[in-house]
A and B are shown apart, each in its own frame.
Chain A
Amino acid sequence: MSQEVWVKTGAEFIPSPREKVEIWRTGDLTEEEKKKPYAKYFYRDLNPPDPDVLKAMEKPIDPSRAITPEQINDLLEPGYLDCEIGWCQMPDGTGFIANLNKMPGVTVEMVYWWFTWMTLNDLRYKIWYKPSHIGHYISPETRKAILDPKSRIPEDTLWGRTHYAVEDIGVGPEFIHIHFKSPEECGFDMKRFKKPYVSGLVAGYGDEMMLNDPHAPRGCAVMCHILRDVEGGIEWRTRFWMGYRLEKGRADKVLPPGEKVPEEAIRGLALHNAHEFANYKVMLPDIYRELGGKIFED
């Protein structure tokens, strides 16, 4: 990526992603952030992932146990797939990640509220998982849609919207443009996209830019968090397909021939996912109850 592109890309992001990294490196909140009623969540101890999950993430799985993004509808089958927790580099060089989180006390309504309310400032993104989450932007039009009481959640506030997240998942700060998509746009068979097979979806694809090296090629990954109601809560099934993007309901491999997504990058994202959603599942019911599930700016 040329420097010229970077300068232009950065013009709408105020303060800049790099300035947000500097604040994050202090390890604390700004004085303004500390005044917000939900700042206390930043200072809570993190809920760690289940040790079994971390153990499953230690080594790659056999790629034959993975599914490709073309098999996304397999996630609508009852029960579980061969691999629900694990990661690997596929023979074609792309990356695969699966994770399963049981979330007692969490509802799909809470999840959609979170992915709407959370976007409105950096602090909300930080309290989700402070070791990695640095900052977050949305466009003025997305903000307007989120704050409009007439908007449908998630149809108007999440699906079709872009989140611009700054995070560090172990390879240095990255600026990720996450394009959230509706189930149709992800390629799901809408005849089967219903309860009890699925209760909700947070999915799309992301383009990433390394903040320390804006000239490095951009990575791309399809992300799929598919939610299912279970007794007393939900289960959160994650799949990442690294090296792919989504286009009009179809996953397209964008990884050039001969290139491979590095194993450390796949494992890094798998572990990050395990950690961030381990904390999320404990924090979400508490903050949702406290704030009444309302959408507000400050």
Chain B
Amino acid sequence: MPKVIACSRRRPGLTKADYFRYLQFIHGTISHKFSRPEMGWYTQNHVIDSAFGTTKDSTYGGIANRDAAVELSFASFPDLYACFMHPDVVKWVASDGKFFADEPNTIVMITEEYEKPVPNPLDTFNPGYGLASGVGAGKVMQFLRRAEGVFLDDFYQYWNEAHEYAMENAPYCRKELRRYVQSHRLAQSDNVKAHFGTVNVPDYDGVASYWFDTPYHLSAFREYNEALMNYEKRWCDWSMSFYLFVKEVPIHYKER
């Protein structure tokens, strides 16, 4: 199931409040109005806080500002193309981006999801939580770029190894992480860049999504991330990678 991820920052002249208002209530409404039956789920992730590169870097090599990452899931590539190429979507939805996003600098990728099991997908605090597992009100999206010279297939292998290592060495995260999904970038990503107006931004090889119970649990990610970066193999360009603490805003819901 291909999933499009577009990560943008607000266009010049907008405050964060302007941007979030437009993204959720204007663009979200337009997207919902012209939603296509081919579309799966569409979720906006509004950025609460973020970190770019590492504390060892004196400066960040890219744009150290991202305000939202949206995710659109499809059952197949024909569905994805049918949606993005539909005249209404082109005329109303795609053309709306310029009113809130710095489009030339939007990161866009088509990805394939790989969900990895977590030890505690359920919180034990309230028995009622048992009705739905693997959800949380606190979410992290981590954009990873492989280290120069690392083959793509090795990158994915090392990423999994590093994740296992980090989970072993981050007990608080191991306890609190409710869901974990890797999204791997596909070669077809360039075919949707035009829809989002992307000109030339670095490519990211994958995005990890982490769900925690509440935003107060997001510090568990910091523990995990330290361990992830300490994994012995050289696999990720940490100076060009970044993560976002986000609030999920479902726009178009379909059962996953």
Contact = CB atoms under 8 A, between A and B. Distances in A.
B205 to A, nearest CB: 9
Interface in A227-281: 245, 247, 252-254, 256-257
Given A5-B190, A217-B191, A257-B85, A252 B151 contact: no
B187 to A, nearest CB: 4
A160 B39 CA distance: 30
A45 interface: no
Contacts of B150: 12
Interface string B69-113: 000000011100110010000000000000000000000000010
B152 interface: yes
Contacts of B2: 247, 252
A162 B156 CA distance: 12
A140 B154 contact: yes
Contacts of A177: 152, 187
B39 to A, nearest CB: 15
A141 B153 contact: yes
B151 A256 contact: no
Contacts, number: 69
Contacts of B76: 252-253
Contacts of A2: 190, 200, 203
B255 interface: no
Contact of B153 (A5, A161, A220, A257): A161
A218 B153 contact: no
A282 B100 CA distance: 63
Contacts of B77: 245, 252-254
A75 B75 CA distance: 26
A4 B187 contact: no
B8 to A, nearest CB: 17
Contacts of A220: 187-188
Interface residues of A, number: 28
Nearest to A163: B153
Nearest to A247: B112
A142 B152 CA distance: 12
Interface in B166-204: 186-188, 190-191, 200-203
A266 to B, nearest CB: 19
Interface residues of B, number: 26
B235 to A, nearest CB: 10
Nearest to A209: B187
Given A4-B200, A12-B149, A253-B76, A207 B154 contact: no
A254 B202 CA distance: 23
A190 interface: no
Interface in A117-140: 137, 139-140
B185 to A, nearest CB: 10
Contacts of A254: 77, 188
Nearest to B198: A2
Interface string A212-228: 00000110100000000
A1 interface: yes
Contacts of A8: 148, 202-203
B190 A218 contact: yes
Interface string B105-149: 000000010000000000000000000000000000000000011
Contact of B202 (A3, A4, A164): A4
Nearest to A1: B190
Contact of B154 (A141, A252, A256): A141
B157 interface: yes
Nearest to B153: A162
Interface of B: 1-2, 76-78, 81-82, 85, 112, 148-154, 157, 186-188, 190-191, 200-203
Given A3-B200, A5-B190, A217-B190, 9 more contacts: A4-B200, A5-B203, A8-B202, A140-B151, A142-B154, A162-B153, A220-B188, A247-B112, A257-B85
18 contacts: A1-B190, A2-B200, A5-B203, A140-B151, A140-B154, A162-B151, A162-B153, A220-B187, A245-B77, A247-B2, A252-B2, A252-B77, A253-B77, A253-B78, A256-B81, A256-B191, A257-B78, A257-B82
Which 8 A-B residue pairings sit nearest by Cβ, starting from the closest? A139-B151, A207-B187, A162-B153, A139-B154, A11-B148, A254-B77, A141-B154, A12-B149
